[in-house]
Structure formats: structure tokens, C-alpha cells
Amino acid sequence: MKRIPCSGCSLLCDDIIVRSDGLFVDEVIGACLKGKERFDQINAKNRILTPLIRENGELKKISFEGAINQASKILNNSKKAILYGFSNVTCEAQLKGIELAKLVNGFIDSNSTICQGKVLNAAKNTGITLTTITEIINKADLLIIWGANAAESIPRLLNKVLFSRGKFRMTGREIRTLIIIDPVKTASFGVMGVRDVALRIEPNKDLDLIRALKEECCSADSIPEKGVAGLDKDDMKRILLNLTGTENGVIIIGQGLLKPQSNAKIIEELLELVQMINLKQEKGRISVLMVGGHYNMAGFEHIALSTCGKNHSLQFSNNKLLETQDTIISKIENNDFDSSLIVGTDPISHLPYQLSKNLASKPIILIDNKRSATSEIADIIIPSAISGIECGGLAFRLDHVPIELKKIINPPSNILTDEEIIKKIIKKLT
Ligand code: SF4
């Protein structure tokens, strides 16, 4: 029996027990369904086990060496390669990805550019008060989940932050107030108790609510009679009372606030509200936690920041980082690329139709361990080991705490890790 971290999502639960003889994983204890799915991927039907190349529209088997050669050839001949994904791989692979982007004068971006990277961008202007899972367990008395379906996207998050008893609190769930702000009644509403506050805000009215709270901050006297953003006066009073009276409050920011169609000012103004309350508070403070989906989305931000001084969207030319406002979305939208290397993600499923169409119009190299919509149209597919099971490495949890992933078994069919594959491509280039 071994205790290992789970790489099923960005919570990286480090209390999973596995029974393994080093060849097979016999039992997994403590993981949620999503975590179990990660382990099931070892023998899943959609697992990619051999490298493939597209010839005359058909995918054909090719040797690992052949696939690496072809991938390097495409990248070598590219003038505007884009590299994307890197949120489901270890920090070691992310580091190699950035090195490769430099070598081919390419553009590299991670999934965080359309997710939690937006929060860190906004924080450049406003500052940010972050917290950790341990601090929430030990101290939090108020949790506000805003635009996130935590119960389904990060299945064990609420177990940990809502129901656990902390070191500095005599009680756990009993003293924690939960506020959920969402236009949709998600599964997370199911854990609400009598003291909790469910706020079904009108769609796309988050900015109105934040602005009203900023105006009313610390005073409930002048709330409009008709309420704000579909919330009535009593709801507004409740949220204000909780925000200004908490000792240790946490706002958990979800994809509902970060989605592309959201007003860019939302996050900036939310962070301003937090700073405003914290300045006025005599005791206590509010902090922020971002919930990214992929297990190492936060890792890319750390690696990019520490090596290049920018957390995502890195454009290189002559081994130097260029100033750019581009993101992976604008690059694909404007057809400003001539080939792509996709690592551990499925943009064809996630991006809008027109962007997927643009991406599909140029050669795609895919490094991944499972079949997806992207593998259906990729030109070269190189299978990779499942990190956190078939290889170890570093990852950053959603609260930016580093966690060391462990290797439990060898990957099948001599499959390489993401890091090893990118290293081999680099070697062929130089
Ligand atoms: S919550 Fe995430 S990290 Fe924890 S067991 Fe489930 S999938 Fe794994």
C-alpha cells in the first residue's frame, strides 16, 4: 500500500492509497469518481498506445523514432508554430515545452489563458490576497463560491474546505457559512444548510452585483428597494453582512466568472472589492482561491513566470521573449500560425467551431494518452505516459502549493513521458 497524490484534478488530493505490485494497480482507496477515472485510463479503450501518422487522410502506425522525426520536421519548417495545452503535464514537461517554443521561435500558451490566468492578470493592477486549502480548513468561517460547480468539477473540494474541522476552530461545518452565487442551481447547492445563502443571480449580471457591493461596502443603508442583479434587498443585506463580518472569508472563483464572454472588468472589480473590504476590516480578512480544472494549470503559470517573467501567452523570436497582446485564441482566430503542437488537451472539443476549423486547417502534432476529437484530425499522434501514475514530477495545486507526483507503475509499450517526448523533439531540432 502506498499513499500518493491524485492527478485527476487541480486539488491533487494527497491522501489516496493505492495497492500495487509495481506492474498493475490493484486497488485505489479514497479517490472520487473523477480520480478513479484517471486510474481507469491505464487500461481504457480510448488509450493511445502506438504513435500514428496521417497518410492520404488515414491514420497509420509509425515507430516512435519516426513520429519524433516527423514532428521535428514540421516544427523545423514552421515559421509560426503554436504550442498549446501543458496543463495536464508535469512542470518538468512544461519547462521543456517553453524551451522548444524558444528554439522554433514559436508561441506557447496553456489552458490557463482562458481560465485562472485571467485572475493573475487582473491582480497585476489590483493586488490579490491568496489563501491555501490548509488555511481554509483551519481558519475559514465564510466560503463564497462564485460561478463554480465545485461539487462536480473538483469533487472533494467541499469535503475538505467545508466539512473538515480546523486546528483553530472548535467546530467545522457548524461555524462555516456557505454562500453560492450562480445563475444555475448546480449540484453544489445540494450541500447547503439552514444558515447558508443561495443566490441565484441573473445571467451575466455579476459585474452589477460587484459594483453594487463596492458602493454599499460596509453599509446596508442605501441598497435599492428593487435589489440588484435579480437578488432582493434581503439577499443583498445578507451578503454584505457576511462579507464585512467574516474573520476569515474565502471567495472561490470559478469558470462562470472567467468564461470568454464575461466582461473583462469582472475579475479586476471583484479583486478591488476584496481589497476594499480588507482595508476597512478591523479584524479578519477575505482571500481568494481560483479553481482551475486541469491538474497542473497553476504549474504552467509558475514555470512561465519564473523562467520568462510572464504567466502565459509567450511569443519567442531569436531566443527572446517578445511583447505581445496575443493569446492562443487570437493566434488561432487570425490564422497567425502555420502548425501546432498540442500537449495533453483537446482544443477541437473545447474551442468554438470557427477556431477549431482554423486549427484543423494546419498540421497538428498531438502528444496525449487518450483519443479525443483532436486526435481524430491530428497529423501526428505521439502517445504519452499518464503522469501521477506512470511517471512522477512536480505539479502545483489550485492554491499554488507544490506537490510531488509519484510513479506507481511503468507505462505500457515503452511509452515515453511528455517530458521525454519533447526532449527527443528538441534533440532532433538541434
Ligand atoms: S478531487 Fe480531484 S484530486 Fe481529489 S480524488 Fe477527486 S479527482 Fe483526484
User: Which atom number of ligand 1 is nearest to the Cα of residue 38?
Assistant: 7
Among 32, 36, 161, 397, say which to mutate for ligand 1: greatest number of ligand atoms within 8 Å of CB: 32
From ligand 1's centre to the CA of 153, what distance in Å? 9
Rounded distance from Cα 15 to ligand 1 centre (Å):
10
How many Cα atoms occupy the beta-carbon half-sphere of 298 within 13 Å? 20
Probe target for ligand 1 pocket from 3, 4, 6, with the most ligand atoms within 8 Å of CB? 6
Cβ partners under 8 Å of residue 296, min gap 6: 7, 10, 87, 88, 89, 90, 91, 94, 395, 396
Indicate yes or no: pTM above 0.85: yes
Q: Which of 14, 41, 46, 24 is nearest to 386 (CA)?
A: 41
Which is higher by pLDDT, 171 or 93? 93
Strand (E) or helix (H) holding 212? helix 206-216
Distance between CA atoms of 12 and 181, rounded to whole angstroms?
Answer: 25
> Which ligand 1 atom sits nearest the alpha carbon of residue 12?
3
Helix, strand, coil share (%) of the chain residues, nearest 5 = 40, 20, 40
117-290 belongs to which homologous superfamily? Dimethylsulfoxide Reductase, domain 2 (3.40.228.10)
Give me the architecture of the 50-113+295-397+411-429 domain, per CATH: 3-Layer(aba) Sandwich (3.40)
What pLDDT, on a 0 to 100 scale, did the predictor assign at position 315?
Answer: 97
Q: Residue 170 has what pLDDT? A: 65
12 lines ligand 1 (CB under 6 A): yes
The fraction of the chain above a pLDDT of 70, given in percent, is 96
Residue ranges of the chain that CATH labels 3.40.228.10: 117-290
Angle, CA of 125, 267 and 122, to the nearest 5°: 25
The confidence score (pLDDT) of residue 261 equals 59
Q: Answer whether 11 contacts ligand 1 (Cβ < 6 A).
A: yes
In the chain, where does the domain assigned CATH 3.40.50.740 lie?
50-113+295-397+411-429
pLDDT per residue as tens digits for the range 260-285: 656 668 899 999 999 989 988 877 89
388 within ligand 1 shell (Cβ under 6 A) = no
Longest dimension (CA), the chain: 71
Name the residue of 29, 156, 386 whose CB sits within 8 Å of the most ligand 1 atoms, as the mutation to test its pocket. 156
CB 421 within 8 A of CB 414: no
Residue 358 has what pLDDT? 96
Nearest CA to ligand 1 atom 4: 13
Query: What is the per-residue pLDDT across 350-388, written as a single tens digit (0 to 9) for each?
Result: 899 999 999 999 999 999 999 999 999 999 999 999 999
Please give the helix or strand (H or E) that residue 248 lies within, else none: strand 248-253
Q: How far is the C-alpha of 35 from the C-alpha of 29, rounded, in Å?
A: 10
